[in-house]
A and B are shown apart, each in its own frame.
Chain A
Amino acid sequence: MEVINITKSYDPDFVAEVEAESEQNVRLCYQCGNCTAGCPYTFAYDIPVSQIMRLVQAGQKEKVLSCRSIWICATCESCTTRCPNDIDVARLMDVLRHMARRYNYNAVPTVRTFVDSFLNSVEKHGRVFEMGLMAAYMTKTGRFWTDTDLSPKVLPKGKLSFKPHRIQGRDEVAKIFERYKEQQR
């Protein structure tokens, strides 16, 4: 097991920031491992969710924000539902993603690009434009749609529109994003 010297790397500001933003008391975690036991994504994680909790307690900012797990977590709410100490673990994982963005960590770029393409689509049209979203994602990742095998299954069904569903209030939606971005500056 890896040994971390917390006297050197403990970052109290990081702990405070996570706690304030998530409205959770991370000190309540006593490492029972329930969250990890129920997490369907443990197989794909570099750090299991209970260990992320421990690393947050230990103020290990760099280690936590640079891990892959926080991007792969699907917010399935299993951890939150099963934590005996009522810690909203999924909310904490969400907050760690927010912080990873803020401090420019990007361990799984495909996930971040997908999220960004999705929100751009909403910002532009007011609703998600599925076709446009896929095109934007492909362009940005340089990956041709890894799902080309699906096109013959989807297209004849007439489910995917080639035009966005624009709504009248799309300016109102765009303004939500605009105000949000202004606040981030």
Chain B
Amino acid sequence: MSEARTYGYYPGCSGMGTSMEYERSTRAVCEALGIKLVELEDWSCCGSTPAHTVDHVLSAALSGRNLSIAESMGLDTVITPCPSCLTNLKTATHRMENPEFRSKVDKLLDKPAPGGVAVKSVLQVIFEDVGPDAIREKVVRPLDGLALAPYYGCLMNRPPEVMQFDDPENPTSMDEILKALGADVVPYGLKVECCGASHGIAQKDVVTTLSGRLLDLAYAEKAVAMVTACPLCQMNLDLRQGQINSANKTNYKMPIFYYTQLLGIALGLPEKELGFDKLAVNPAPVLKAIQEPSHAAS
């Protein structure tokens, strides 16, 4: 691929705070892969996980404002790194195919939400428009011998009627990308199992149980790190790993990377741009293994 592809870009609120390393590495990687991101001007919160639990029309209207911005900027596709934003934007689009629902949404908005704006994840665009083969050719620092557990989270691919990307039970797009980087992807049976979502604050035991299970399996499969595509999953597994350890009497020190961070390092981008210093569990031992591969790339 030669010319840059242009997409509307929706970073999402957590990208401005708790997942800034995801946001940063996403931008760096997209640039390196020839994907041009045009940030939606003055975008607002999509409602995240709470809005739909209160009202579906309100939730769709919060997404609708952002889709309108994309349309007025002449962008036909919006992409986002965050599966929660992705779900909201896509579900709103899907439900607004019903005219009755759409008219209720429009009543909450200054101007009617557009119909023709497509929504995709950044992962989908990297996988489908660039692809593992093109990525393999660009790798300068292969992740040789690194055993990684790919964890997609519950929302990225489900429900299939709405998300329309990869397999809802056993997605493989991130596996394929990681393999193209030279990594060993371990068999990971809990790829789409929920991590406890936003219950970290109101119902913490739920998170220590569910995320604990995810870490247990990654350890059992001898992974040296887990790889996520979701800010909430990353936060539960990384920042709360200490809480999980005390609740479950484990002693894990498993780095939890965003796939974009590892993609960036393999493409030879400066580590500074990838935000490794923002991770809670120290990633240095694993990163060192990348710099000094145990066996030379042939």
Binding site for B on A (CB under 8 A): 23, 40-41, 43-44, 72, 74-78, 80-81, 88, 90, 94-95, 97-98, 101, 108, 110-111, 113-115, 118-119, 122, 126-128, 130, 134, 137, 146-147, 149-150, 153-154, 157, 159-161, 165, 167-170, 172-173, 175-177, 179-180, 183
Most buried by A among B14, B47, B65, B203: B203
User: How far, in angstroms, from A160 to B196 measured CA to CA in the complex?
Assistant: 22
Chain B residues near A177 (CB-CB < 8 A): 58
A78 touches B158 (CB 8 A): yes
Chain B residues near A154 (CB-CB < 8 A): 18, 239, 280
State the majority secondary structure of interface residues on A. Answer: helix
A169 touches B65 (CB 8 A): yes
Chain B residues near A149 (CB-CB < 8 A): 242-243
B50 touches A130 (CB 8 A): no
A176 touches B62 (CB 8 A): yes
B202 touches A114 (CB 8 A): yes
Which of the four size classes fits the interface of chain B?
A: 35 or more
A119 touches B54 (CB 8 A): yes
B206 touches A173 (CB 8 A): no
| Given known A-B contacts A114-B50, A126-B44, A150 and B16 have beta carbons under 8 A apart | no
Chain B residues near A168 (CB-CB < 8 A): 42
User: How far, in angstroms, from A160 to B230 measured CA to CA in the complex?
Assistant: 18
User: How far, in angstroms, from A161 to B18 measured CA to CA in the complex?
Assistant: 9
B43 touches A167 (CB 8 A): yes
Comparing B105-113, B115-123, B290-298, the segment that makes contact with chain A is B105-113
* A121 nearest CB across to chain B (Å): 8
User: How far, in angstroms, from A146 to B207 measured CA to CA in the complex?
Assistant: 13
Chain B residues near A113 (CB-CB < 8 A): 202
A153 touches B202 (CB 8 A): no
B17 touches A130 (CB 8 A): yes
B53 touches A81 (CB 8 A): no
A81 touches B160 (CB 8 A): yes
A77 touches B44 (CB 8 A): no
* B5 nearest CB across to chain A (Å): 27
Chain B residues near A183 (CB-CB < 8 A): 107-108
User: How far, in angstroms, from A41 to B197 measured CA to CA in the complex?
Assistant: 11
User: How far, in angstroms, from A153 to B62 measured CA to CA in the complex?
Assistant: 32
- Asked if B216 is at the interface of the complex by the 8 Å CB criterion, the answer is no
User: How far, in angstroms, from A176 to B58 measured CA to CA in the complex?
Assistant: 8
| Given known A-B contacts A76-B155, A98-B55, A114-B202, A81 and B17 have beta carbons under 8 A apart | no
Q: Mark B176-196, 1 if CB is under 8 A from A, else 0.
A: 000000000000000011101
Chain B residues near A165 (CB-CB < 8 A): 13, 16
B58 touches A72 (CB 8 A): no
| Given known A-B contacts A130-B18, A159-B20, A176-B108, A118 and B154 have beta carbons under 8 A apart | no
Known interface pairs A72-B206, A157-B277; 20 further A-B residue pairs with C-beta atoms within 8 A, sorted by A's residue number: A44-B209, A76-B154, A77-B158, A77-B159, A78-B194, A94-B53, A111-B199, A118-B50, A119-B47, A122-B45, A126-B45, A150-B240, A150-B243, A168-B42, A169-B65, A170-B44, A172-B44, A176-B65, A177-B58, A180-B57
User: How far, in angstroms, from A88 to B158 measured CA to CA in the complex?
Assistant: 11
B159 touches A119 (CB 8 A): no
A74 touches B13 (CB 8 A): no
Closest residue on chain B to residue A128 by CB atoms: B13
Q: Mark B55-93, 1 if CB is under 8 A from A, else 0.
A: 111100110010000000000000000000000000000
Chain A residues near B61 (CB-CB < 8 A): 176, 180
* A91 nearest CB across to chain B (Å): 8
Picked from B194, B204, B239, the residue with its CB within 8 Å of the CB of A40 is B194
Closest residue on chain A to residue B279 by CB atoms: A157
B204 touches A146 (CB 8 A): yes
25 contacts between A and B (CB under 8 A): A40-B194, A72-B206, A74-B197, A76-B154, A81-B169, A108-B202, A113-B202, A114-B198, A119-B47, A122-B44, A127-B44, A127-B45, A128-B14, A128-B48, A147-B201, A150-B240, A154-B18, A159-B17, A159-B18, A159-B278, A168-B42, A169-B65, A173-B65, A176-B62, A180-B57
